């Protein structure tokens, strides 16, 4: 993510170093022991570069409301992207984003207090470490509360809502798992949950197939639309092919199992997807959705299932709670008898 022009004024090596390592530190905080994660971070950040002169300069910049707003927006945007990549089942609304920005306002206000006190480099490093630990605890609380808004926390009835990383796969692997023959694809093509890189979308366009990708962490362009898939409008009988590998159906399963999920919204979107297909068009997805596929009228839809190898451990945990096998890819073709 590029920093905007206002942030370019923060061109000191120390601040740039902290910006570059921020997500790495957050990753360590989640997936490794906190002490080892912070040790790795502070071994790479040179706090000696924060001389009294530079500290005063940074403080002056932080006191500028325009600069602080730019910093808050940048860090909050970075955090949202990080959250979606590492907690893929989490949904955030406008109020959540406001709360997230407040966490960063508090972070920079606490940093200003530290700089006001003109601490020595040794003390500053120690205080900065405690400041960051408090900050990441705030983020951890934010994530936990966001998963179960109805009761403000997790219960035994909930499925595991810990970190579930969102991976991106090669076009060849996606096409193989979904059992897609490029020669049989009907245009235009829509990839729902195409990922930050949109690899399959780019690949299909290079093959001459008009393809659009939709994802919440991708930038808008000729080939891509930044949107939550539940909010993305679908025209009836418009798309020739809709693809969703390890995205829409994965989330549908989560909401089907999660006590505070919204499975009815995914069920409605599933039917909207099918309604948006042309006659002869297909919806390809994995994993499978047996709990809704069984209700599709065979006079309107032709189902084909293709067995795939059991995926990673996170989906297996959900699978253990299901009475039916979901480890297959599915092609739902719209037909007209």
Domain identity same for 259 and 182: yes
Domain identity same for 265 and 325: yes
SS (H, E, C) 66-116: HHHHHHHHHHHHHHHHHHHHHECCCCCCHHHHHHHHHHHHHHHHHHHHHHH
Domain identity same for 178 and 71: no
CA 248 to mean position of chain CA atoms: 12
Domain identity same for 222 and 77: no
Angle at 277 between CA 276 and CA 280, to 5 degrees: 165
Q: Are 258 and 268 in contact (CB under 8 A)?
A: no
Domain identity same for 39 and 134: yes
Domain identity same for 271 and 177: yes
The span from the CA of 76 to the CA of 276, in Å, is 35
Q: Is 258 inside a domain boundary?
A: yes
Single out the residue in 113, 147, 181 at which a domain terminates. Answer: 147
Q: Is 159 inside a domain boundary?
A: no
Closest alpha carbon to 92 in 34, 247, 207, 82? 82
CATH, residue 201: 3.40.50.150
Structural domains in the chain (count): 2
In three-state secondary structure terms, 151 is: coil
Containing structural domain, residue 325: 171-334
CA distances, 164 to each of 32, 87, 167, 169, 283 (Å)? 15, 5, 9, 16, 25
pLDDT tens digits in sequence order for the chain, 337 residues long = 455 555 555 554 545 555 566 766 776 666 555 566 666 666 666 666 656 656 677 777 778 888 888 888 888 888 888 888 877 888 888 899 999 999 999 998 988 888 777 666 667 777 877 888 888 889 888 887 776 554 433 333 444 455 566 678 899 999 999 999 999 999 999 999 999 899 999 999 999 999 999 999 888 899 999 998 899 999 999 999 999 999 999 899 888 888 778 899 999 999 999 999 999 999 999 999 999 999 999 999 999 999 887 555 444 555 566 667 888 999 999 997 5
Domain identity same for 199 and 308: yes
Domain identity same for 175 and 315: yes
Helix axes 52-62, 13-31, angle to 10 degrees: 80
């Amino acid at each position: 993510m590029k920093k905007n022009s206002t942030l370019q004024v923060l061109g000191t090596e120390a601040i740039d170093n902290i910006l570059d390592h921020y997500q790495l530190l957050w990753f360590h905080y989640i997936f490794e022991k906190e002490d080892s994660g912070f040790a790795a971070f502070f071994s790479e950040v040179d706090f000696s570069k924060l001389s009294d002169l530079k500290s005063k300069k940074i403080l002056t910049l932080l006191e500028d409301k325009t600069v602080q707003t730019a910093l808050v927006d940048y860090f909050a945007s970075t955090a949202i992207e990080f959250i979606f990549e590492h907690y893929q089942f989490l949904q955030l609304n406008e109020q959540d984003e406001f709360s997230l920005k407040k966490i960063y306002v508090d972070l920079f206000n606490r940093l200003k207090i530290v700089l006001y006190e003109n601490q020595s480099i040794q003390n500053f490093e120690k205080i900065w470490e405690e400041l960051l630990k408090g900050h990441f605890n705030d983020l951890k609380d934010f994530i936990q509360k966001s998963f179960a808004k109805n009761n403000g926390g997790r219960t035994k009835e909930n499925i595991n809502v810990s970190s579930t990383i969102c991976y991106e796969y090669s076009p060849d692997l996606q096409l193989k798992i979904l059992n897609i023959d490029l020669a049989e694809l009907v245009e235009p093509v829509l990839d729902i949950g195409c990922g930050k890189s949109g690899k399959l979308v780019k690949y299909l366009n290079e093959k001459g197939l008009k393809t659009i990708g939709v994802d919440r962490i991708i930038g808008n362009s000729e080939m891509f639309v930044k949107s939550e898939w539940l909010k993305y409008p679908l025209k009836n009988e418009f798309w020739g092919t809709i693809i969703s590998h390890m995205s829409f159906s994965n989330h549908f399963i989560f909401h089907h199992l999660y006590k505070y999920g919204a499975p009815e919204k995914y069920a409605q979107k599933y039917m909207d997807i099918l309604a948006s297909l042309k006659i002869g068009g297909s919806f390809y997805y994995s994993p499978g959705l047996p709990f809704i596929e069984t209700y599709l009228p065979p006079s309107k839809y032709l189902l084909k299932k293709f067995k795939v190898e059991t995926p990673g451990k996170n989906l297996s945990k959900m699978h253990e709670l299901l009475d039916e096998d979901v480890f297959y890819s599915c092609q739902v073709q719209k037909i007209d008898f």
